[in-house]
C-alpha cells in the first residue's frame, strides 16, 4: 500500500537571469513500511526533492499525497502539524541545538507540538521517553552531553532520536551518513534498518553512495530531474 505519492513534481531555482530546472516532473510512490533509497549524483536535486516531500519547501508544480490526502497545498498550520507528527527528517549536518543537552534536543519537537505549559506539565514523562529513545540509539551514557561534546555518529543518533519523539510514520533522511567514516556510517544504516524492520517505520533515504543505497529494500535513481 502506498503511504506517499509524488505526481509530476517540478521545481526550479532562479539565480539572477538564470532559471535552473532541478526537478522536471518527478513521479514516485513510497510504500508503507518500506526502506526506499533514492540515489543520484551531487547536484541532481536529491535534497530539493526530499525538502519538498518533507514540506520544507513548496513545489512549482505537481502534487504530494500522504495517506491519500494532498498535502503540498495545505495551510502552513496543517503542514507544520504534519512535519511535527507524521513526516520527520534527518540531515547530513544534524541540525542540533548547541546550547541544549541531548535529552533537551530530543524533546524539542514535543515542546513545539504541545506548547510551553502542556509540555511543562508532562515534562517528567517526556524526559523518560526521550531517555528511552536515546537508549534505543545507543546513547544512554551521554545524556548530559551537548552536541559539541559528541562524535558525528553520536550527533546523528541524537538527531534520529529527535526525529522519532513524536512517533512519525515516515522518516526522510538526507544523506545522513555523508559526514561520517565508514564504520560509523554502517552503524547508522543498521540503526535505520532496525527501525524499519522492528518499528515498521517507513524510511526514504537519499544518497549519492551506491553502497549506502544497497542497504535499502528498493532503490530508485534521480537523473536529469526525473526518477528513472
Ligand atoms: N536555494 C537555491 N537556490 C538556487 N539554486 C539552488 C538552491 N538549492 C539548490 N539549488 C541548485 O539545485 C541543484 C540541486 O541541488 P540539491 O541540493 O537538491 O542537490 P543534491 O542532489 O542534494 O546534491 P548533494 O548530493 O551535493 O547534496 C543544484 O544545482 C543547486 O545548485
Ligand atoms: Mg543534498
Q: Write the pLDDT tens digit of every residue in 167-187.
A: 999 999 999 999 889 889 999
Residue appearing with cell numbers 509530476: 8
**Dihedral over alpha carbons 156, 12, 56, 81 (to 10 degrees):** -140
pLDDT at 74: 96
Atom of ligand 1 nearest to the CA of 208: 25
Pocket test for ligand 1, best of 22, 23, 56, 172 (most atoms within 8 A of CB): 22
Distance in Å from the first CA to the final CA of the chain: 21
**For residue 107, how many other CB atoms are within 10 A of its CB?**
23
- pLDDT tens figures, 131-142: 999 999 999 999
- pLDDT tens figures, 88-118: 999 999 999 999 999 999 999 999 999 999 9
212 CB contacts (<8 Å, ≥6 apart)?
Answer: 37, 177, 185, 189, 205
Query: How would residue 87 be classed by pLDDT, with cut points 50, 70 and 90?
Result: very high
According to the CATH classification, is domain 33-59+74-218 in 3.40.50.300?
A: yes
pLDDT at 14: 93
Which amino acids bring their CB within 6 angstroms of ligand 1?
13, 15, 20, 22, 40, 42-48, 175, 208
Which pTM was predicted? 0.95
Query: From edge to edge, which strands make up the β-sheet containing 69-70?
Result: 18-31, 2-15, 61-66, 69-70
193 CB contacts (<8 Å, ≥6 apart)?
Answer: 35, 215
- pLDDT tens figures, 66-75: 999 999 999 9
As a whole-number percent, the residues of the chain with pLDDT over 70 amount to 100
Domain ranges for the chain, please list them: 33-59+74-218
Please count the helices (runs of H) and the strands (runs of E) in the chain.
Answer: 8, 10
pLDDT at 30: 98
Q: Whose CA is nearest to atom 31 of ligand 1?
A: 43
Amino acid at each position: 500500500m502506498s503511504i506517499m505519492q509524488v505526481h509530476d513534481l517540478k521545481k526550479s531555482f532562479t539565480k539572477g537571469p538564470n532559471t535552473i530546472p532541478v526537478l522536471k516532473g518527478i513521479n514516485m510512490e513510497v510504500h508503507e513500511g518500506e526502506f526506499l533509497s533514492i540515489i543520484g549524483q551531487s547536484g541532481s536535486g536529491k535534497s530539493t526533492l526530499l525538502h519538498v516531500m518533507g514540506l520544507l519547501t513548496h513545489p512549482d508544480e505537481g502534487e504530494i499525497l500522504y495517506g491519500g490526502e494532498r498535502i503540498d497545498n495545505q495551510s502552513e498550520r496543517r503542514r507544520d502539524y504534519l512535519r511535527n507528527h507524521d513526516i520527520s527528517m534527518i540531515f547530513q549536518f544534524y541540525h542540533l541545538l548547541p546550547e541544549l543537552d541531548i535529552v533537551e534536543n530530543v524533546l524539542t519537537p514535543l515542546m513545539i507540538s504541545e506548547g510551553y505549559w502542556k509540555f511543562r506539565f508532562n515534562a517528567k514523562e517526556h524526559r523518560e521517553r526521550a531517555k528511552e529513545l536515546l537508549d534505543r540509539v545507543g546513547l544512554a551514557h551521554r545524556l548530559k552531553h551537548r552536541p559539541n561534546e559528541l562524535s558525528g555518529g553520536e550527533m546523528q543518533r541524537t538527531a534520529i532520536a529527535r526525529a522519532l519523539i513524536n512517533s512519525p510514520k515516515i522518516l526522510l533522511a538526507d544523506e545522513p551518513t555523508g559526514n561520517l567514516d565508514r564504520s560509523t556510517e554502517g552503524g547508522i544504516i543498521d540503526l535505520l534498518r532496525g527501525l524499519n524492520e522492528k518499528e515498521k517505520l517507513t524510511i526514504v533515504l537519499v544518497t549519492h553512495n551506491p553502497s549506502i543505497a544497497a542497504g535499502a529494500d528498493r532503490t530508485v535513481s534521480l537523473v536529469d530531474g526525473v526518477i528513472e
